[in-house]
Amino acid sequence: MSESKKLTWFRRTARLAAFLALVVVVVGAWVRLTDAGLGCPDWPGCYGHVHPAQLADQVDAINAANPERPFDYQKALNEMVHRYIASTLGLLIIALAVMSVRNRRDPAQPRILPWILLPTVVLQGLLGMWTVTLLLKPLIVTLHLLGGITTLSLLWWLSLVPERRDLKAAERRVRRLAIVAMALVVVQVSLGGWTSTNYAAAACTDFPTCQDSWWPQMDFGNAFVLWRGLGIDYEGGVLDAPARVAIHYAHRLGAYIVTVVLLAAGVAAWYRAQTRPLRLAAIGMLAALALQLLIGMNLIWQGWPLWLGTAHNAGAAVLVLAMVTLLRFLVPRSEAPRFGSKL
């Protein structure tokens, strides 16, 4: 097999892994939104078994031992499906690392990112375990979400073929704006994760106002306490209403800022683009932004249906992928050794 074919297979595998990572993120959102995070209160198994179906003759004993959290087969199944898909993703990431070593003589072969992904996915596994053992602590669950988004972004970066060209001065300015936009998207995704893990999504039932007010009663001091000690069961949330409203409203205000900056970055990239791939990346990012805004508003107006909540999480992941694509096509030739083949 020639070197170029090896690299082609590497990128195809990275693309498959990126798709699987997106599935993991979406299924993880489904698990969180269906309150299935503690469907299996141990890790990595489920009540000591590999599949909840094996527990049919133990349900009464489980319920007697845990009357505060009776066994729910569907929740347990949701959680284990998430774990098994994530485990399959881990195997693909190991394969990418091995492929990068076998194809190391190809100057276009990414060499660093495949090995960065290995500790990243190990950390993700640990965060998944701590999510269960620390009883859905919001900081851990939010970090678990960010870890999934990071894994997805790195895999998608690996799957894309850079353009290898010098950027015009106007494109360099667009790149700086796109980096700022990407940073804001990460902050906004973090706020979204904090909103979900603190059960604050339904704290505001109207839009664009919140509780019929442009500035409702809020408790920011209590809303963003990152660590509240051990042994607290966070299922259902522990914050009072003003703190949850503060979290929701912070996420909403962040959305306004992100929208303005991403619109500026997308329009600038489309207008200043010197190549068709960059122009298409800008259009794709603007489309992802519009879709996410539409989902977010309808999520409130329609009373938080489960499928729309899951779609909102998927939309955030797609928006991140669109930003990664835009930045990938804004890597100049002069920085290719740092951001191109060696990565």
Question: Is residue 245 domain-shared with residue 304, that is, in the same domain?
Answer: yes
pLDDT score for 164? 73
pLDDT score for 338? 47
Question: Is residue 5 domain-shared with residue 153, that is, in the same domain?
Answer: yes
Tokens of 175: 């790149």
Question: Is residue 317 domain-shared with residue 180, that is, in the same domain?
Answer: yes
Question: Is residue 123 domain-shared with residue 172, that is, in the same domain?
Answer: no
Residue 3 has pLDDT above 70, yes or no: no
Tell me the pLDDT of the chain averaged across its residues. 92
pLDDT score for 334? 60
The number of beta carbons lying within 10 Å of the beta carbon of residue 230 is 9
Q: Scanning the structure block, which residue is given the tokens 């963003």? A: 224
The type of residue at 255 is A
Domain around 137 = 1-159
pLDDT score for 65? 86
Question: Is residue 109 domain-shared with residue 187, that is, in the same domain?
Answer: no
Report how far apart, in Å, the C-alpha atoms of 92 and of each of 82, 87, 150, 273 are.
Answer: 16, 9, 16, 34
Nearest to 289 by CA among 314, 309, 316, 324: 316
Q: How many domains are contained in the chain?
A: 2
Q: Kindly report, residue by residue over 309-327, the tens digit of the pLDDT.
A: 999 999 999 999 999 999 9
| Candidate list 79, 171, 235, 335, residue with the active-site label | 79
- Left (φ > 0), alpha (ψ -120 to 50) or beta: where does 268 sit? alpha
Buried b / exposed e across 280-289, counting CB within 10 Å, b at 16+? ebbebbbebb
Question: Is residue 6 domain-shared with residue 64, that is, in the same domain?
Answer: yes
pLDDT score for 223? 95
Question: Is residue 120 domain-shared with residue 182, that is, in the same domain?
Answer: no
3-state secondary structure 28-60: HHHHHHCCCCCCCCCCCCECCECCHHHHHHHHH
Report how far apart, in Å, the C-alpha atoms of 271 and of each of 166, 170, 266, 287, 291 are.
Answer: 17, 10, 9, 16, 21
Question: Is residue 191 domain-shared with residue 152, that is, in the same domain?
Answer: no
Question: Is residue 34 domain-shared with residue 141, that is, in the same domain?
Answer: yes
Question: Is residue 226 domain-shared with residue 172, that is, in the same domain?
Answer: yes
The C-alpha atoms of residue 331 and residue 299 are separated, in whole angstroms, by 36
Please identify, among 124, 140, 159, the residue that sits at the C-terminal boundary of a domain: 159
Q: How many residues does the chain have?
A: 343
The mean pLDDT of 15-28, rounded to a whole number, is: 97
Please identify, among 95, 126, 159, the residue that sits at the C-terminal boundary of a domain: 159
pLDDT score for 104? 87
Please identify, among 124, 159, 194, the residue that sits at the C-terminal boundary of a domain: 159
Answer yes or no: 79 catalytic.
Answer: yes
The C-alpha atoms of residue 309 and residue 124 are separated, in whole angstroms, by 23
Question: Is residue 136 domain-shared with residue 214, that is, in the same domain?
Answer: no
Question: Is residue 191 domain-shared with residue 144, that is, in the same domain?
Answer: no
